[in-house]
Amino acid sequence: MRIVIMGTGGLGGYFGALLARAGADVTFIARGANLQTLRERGLTVQSVNGDFTLPVVQACADPAGMPEVDFVLFCVKTYGVADAATLLQPVVGPTTVLLTLQNGVDTPTDLQHAFGRGTVLAGITRIGSTLVEPGVIEQPTRDRAIEFGNLDAHGAAVLEPVRTLLEAADIPAVVSPDIRKSLWEKLVLISAFAGLSALTGLSPNQLLARQPTRTVYTHVMEEAAAVARTAGVALAADIATEILAYLDAEGELGSASMAVDFQHRRRTEIEAINGAVVRHGRRLGVPTPVNETIYAALVVTDGYHREEREQA
């Protein structure tokens, strides 16, 4: 089975490394210093679930010229989806299965339209995993499962083969009975976890430790949940309370990746997170004033950061 990892950052690098360690024929798509390191020294994983090094891996910047692949793990940032889909066009065939692990709720459908062939599965993961330096992945969280599901009846036939592939590589895999619901549940969680953290500069733990910010945190999630319900997604009535209980029980929550990107003046996924809540809210007539505030502030600041990068 030929596998391509599209996006060899913390997420793709970790799961791709597990697949390669299990003996799968894996090619990593990377760029810059990370690509050079993968080619010269391989890939190192420092994980709470076990450290290991792959001294030799297959890696390239462009898969053009490769034969069609059987499986693609699609792990690019949401703002890179269109470019990555274009890059993959030559290797995606009618039997290719593509599993997306993006934030937000729109990428799976976007990829179905972009390829028009093969099978797109939608997935989520709550793993913490970071590319701390070229060729080195740091993965500190016990929770590293991939939850995934089919978008339509056509995708149902490949769910078990994909689950088997992942579990054979020591990747916990859960088939979701309603992946659309799962995607929205995660968006409810990260709308506050990422958006409010980026806006304030406070960590999720700091936000939840004080009542004023904990209240705002709850409002952000409740707005996202209201949008989802209006879109026909059957979220639990007390989902915000459930998420708060889950976060409180987790203890140390680490940093939101979007907040880290924002602090380093890198491009963020604001459009796919709070931006998605706002856009779907407007489409459905659901007010989202707190998410709109977060979105407006971050998207404008993102613009200033982009101007600074262009002038540097």
Domains of the chain (ranges plus CATH)?
Answer: 2-177 (3.40.50.720), 181-311 (1.10.1040.10)
Q: What is the mean pLDDT of residues 10-25?
A: 96
What pLDDT, on a 0 to 100 scale, did the predictor assign at position 255? Answer: 80
- Compute the chain's Rg from CA coordinates: 19
Over the range 213-239, which residues count as b (16 or more CB within 10 Å of their CB) and which as e? beebbbbbbbbbbbbbbebebebeeeb
Model pLDDT for residues 96-123, shown as the tens digit of each residue: 999 999 999 999 999 999 999 999 999 9
Give CA separation, 63 vs 28, 68, 75, in Å.
Answer: 9, 10, 15
Q: What percent of the chain has pLDDT over 90?
A: 84
Model pLDDT, residue 307:
86
Question: Where residue 154 falls among pLDDT bands split at 50, 70, 90?
Answer: confident
The answer, yes or no, to whether residue 59 has pLDDT greater than 90, is yes
Dihedral in degrees, nearest 10, Cα atoms 187, 189, 193, 194: -10
Beta strands in 91-215 (DSSP E): 97-100, 119-125, 130-133, 136-139, 146-150, 173-175
Asked whether 17 and 44 are in contact (CB, 8 A), the reply is: no
| DSSP per-residue letters across 51-114 | -EEES--EEES--TTSPPPSEEEE---GGGHHHHHHHHGGG--TT-EEEE--SSSSHHHHHHHH
Average pLDDT of every residue of the chain: 94
Residue 223's pLDDT is 98
Q: How many helices (H) and strands (E) does the chain have?
A: 13, 12
**Residue 29: helix, strand or coil by DSSP?**
strand
In angstroms, how far apart are the furthest CA atoms of the chain?
56
- pLDDT for the residue 127: 84
Band of residue 143 on the pLDDT scale cut at 50, 70, 90 = confident
Q: What is the pLDDT of residues 231-282, one digit of tens each?
A: 999 999 999 999 999 999 988 787 888 888 888 888 899 999 999 999 999 9
Q: Is the pLDDT of residue 190 over 80?
A: yes
Amino acid at 275: G
Q: Which two tokens stand for residue 255?
A: 């940093």
Alpha carbons 234 and 151: distance in angstroms, whole number: 16
Q: How far is CA 135 from CA 33, 44, 192, 257, in A?
A: 9, 6, 31, 19
Structure tokens at 216: 């705002």
Q: In the beta sheet, which residues pair with residue 138?
A: 46, 130
Q: Which residues contact 116 (CB under 8 A, 6 or more apart)?
A: none
Over residues 18-39, the pLDDT tens digits come to 999 999 999 999 999 999 999 9
Q: What is the pLDDT of residue 26?
A: 98
pLDDT (tens digit per residue) in 61-96? 999 999 999 999 999 999 999 999 999 999 999 999
